[in-house]
Amino acid sequence: MATSSIRSFGARSASSALAPLTIARREPGPTDVELEILFCGVCHSDLHQARNEWHNTVYPCVPGHEIVGRVSRVGAQVGKFKAGDHAAVGCMVDSCRSCVNCQAGQEQYCTAFPTFTYNSPDKHTGGHTFGGYSTSVVVDESFVLRVPAGLDLAAAAPLLCAGITTYSPLRHWKVGPGQKVGIVGLGGLGHMGVKFARAFGAHVVLFTTSPGKTADALRLGAHEVVVSKNADEMRKHASSFDFILDCVSADHDINAYLSLLKLDGTLTLVGAPEHPLPVAAFNLLLPRRNFAGSAIGGIAETQEMLDFCAAHGVTSEIEIISMEQINEAWDRLLKQDVKYRFVIDLQSLRGN
């Protein structure tokens, strides 16, 4: 297969800093879209993967799955995109397309496992996939998304992961007007959860361990803020929530939030704590509460989310960095020193 060499930033080992790398991208095939990458969001998953914290990383590792760019070339059979269009790529670049979940438009739950944007086997090159910390990417048009006019391109990048990870469960559990909805944690995921829940018309309560985040939470759309360390504040909300979206990846007491659900209420976990979370059985049995999990959305739902964001003026709160600032940004990410998502401007890597 014909390939071309492009510039990227990646890790050569679990302990190495991110540094310039030259990687190979395939030449566009008949159904492929080539994107010149303009912006790429920085997800905490990038750090986990590059440092092999999930024990499955293949090196060299080029992270990045919140990609927004400009179409530079398309294959002869591509009908949805043309050169010059703004387009995006999220966490997946392929799936089996034939299993029951793929056929239902739930490619993220492909029973044969999706091909992720980076660190997945690449059926085209025989190697593994490389992500958006690079100057370009080539993806089958079925996994490329249209960026609606009016969306800020940089602020749209985190929608491809943080956005869809919170949009999908809120839509699946039919969050809307008349419902009381809790968002646990005000980080990269949580701030999008607040924005979406408010845009869907729910009464939004933000739970945080940090009193200093109250003003920001209200600015982003929360109606109320509860400091979860305050037992009296928590008790005031007992058995009153229709839905709670838990965006926290650190270990925490899940039972404190399950007890806030009303009859048939649901708590959905989108954060990924390192250790199992003990659940008290009677917190589920009485009064018939649901404890669920959710990943990203499928391609159709992700496009729906982008269109919704354009129509309602919803984007991520971002800090733009250059590619050369990525190691510093990762250090700050570990300290939660970002409001609320880093986005890489790839201009310097492209050399223009």
- Predicted local confidence at residue 352, as pLDDT: 60
pLDDT averaged over every residue in the chain: 96
Q: How many helices (H) and strands (E) does the chain have?
A: 12, 17
> Are residues 127 and 176 located together in one domain of the fold?
no
Q: What does the buried/exposed string (b/e) look like for 217-249 if buried means 16 or more CB atoms within 10 Å of the residue's CB? A: beebbbbbbbbbeeeeebeebeeebbbbbbbbb
Q: What is the mean pLDDT of residues 312-337?
A: 95
> Are residues 184 and 324 located together in one domain of the fold?
no
In a domain, 311, yes or no: no
Both structure tokens of 196: 């979406």
Report which of 207, 199, 197, 73 is spatially closest to residue 139, judged by C-alpha positions: 73
Measure the CA–CA gap between 66 and 336, rounded to whole angstroms.
19
> Are residues 10 and 136 located together in one domain of the fold?
yes
- CB-count burial class (<10 Å; 0-12, 13-18, 19+) for 1: exposed
Report which of 194, 188, 217, 218 is spatially closest to residue 337, judged by C-alpha positions: 188
What's the CATH code of the domain at 193? 3.40.50.720
- Predicted local confidence at residue 182, as pLDDT: 98
> Are residues 191 and 156 located together in one domain of the fold?
no
> Are residues 71 and 106 located together in one domain of the fold?
yes
Tell me, letter by letter, the H, E, C secondary structure of 159-182: HHCHHHHHHHHHHHCCCCCCCEEE
What's the CATH code of the domain at 145? 3.90.180.10
- Predicted local confidence at residue 222, as pLDDT: 98
Q: What is the mean pLDDT of residues 28-46?
A: 96
Share of the chain above pLDDT 90, in %: 93
In a domain, 302, yes or no: no
End-to-end CA distance of the chain: 29
In a domain, 208, yes or no: yes
Q: What is the mean pLDDT of residues 120-124?
A: 94
In a domain, 305, yes or no: no
Q: What is the mean pLDDT of residues 57-79?
A: 97
> Are residues 150 and 16 located together in one domain of the fold?
yes
Both structure tokens of 319: 């800090």
> Are residues 38 and 171 located together in one domain of the fold?
no
| Enclosing domain of residue 191 | 163-293
In a domain, 118, yes or no: yes
Measure the CA–CA gap between 229 and 210, rounded to whole angstroms.
9
Residues 234-283: tens digit of each pLDDT: 999 999 999 999 999 889 999 999 999 999 999 999 998 888 999 999 99
> Are residues 102 and 172 located together in one domain of the fold?
no
> Are residues 102 and 185 located together in one domain of the fold?
no
- Residues 90, 117 contacting (CB under 8 angstroms): yes
Q: What is the mean pLDDT of residues 315-330?
A: 96
Residue 92, beta-bridge partner list = 116
CB half-sphere exposure, 45, CA atoms < 13 A: 25
> Are residues 136 and 263 located together in one domain of the fold?
no
pLDDT at residue 56 above 70? yes
In a domain, 100, yes or no: yes
> Where does 175-317 show beta strands of DSSP type E?
180-184, 203-208, 224-227, 241-246, 261-269, 290-293
> Are residues 122 and 219 located together in one domain of the fold?
no
Q: What is the mean pLDDT of residues 74-101?
A: 97
- Residues 187, 210 contacting (CB under 8 angstroms): no
- CB-count burial class (<10 Å; 0-12, 13-18, 19+) for 45: buried
Instruction: Please give the tally of structural domains in the chain.
Output: 2
- Residues 257, 284 contacting (CB under 8 angstroms): no
Both structure tokens of 164: 């869809």
Tell which of 260, 293, 326 closes a domain. Answer: 293
pLDDT band at 73 (very low <50, low <70, confident <90, very high): very high
pLDDT band at 350 (very low <50, low <70, confident <90, very high): confident
Both structure tokens of 126: 């025989």
pLDDT at residue 1 above 80? no
Residue 116, beta-bridge partner list = 92
In a domain, 69, yes or no: yes
In a domain, 221, yes or no: yes
> Are residues 17 and 135 located together in one domain of the fold?
yes
- Residues 339, 216 contacting (CB under 8 angstroms): yes
Residue 70, beta-bridge partner list = 36, 86
Q: What's the whole-model pTM score?
A: 0.95
Residue located via tokens 């990609």: 67
pLDDT band at 76 (very low <50, low <70, confident <90, very high): very high
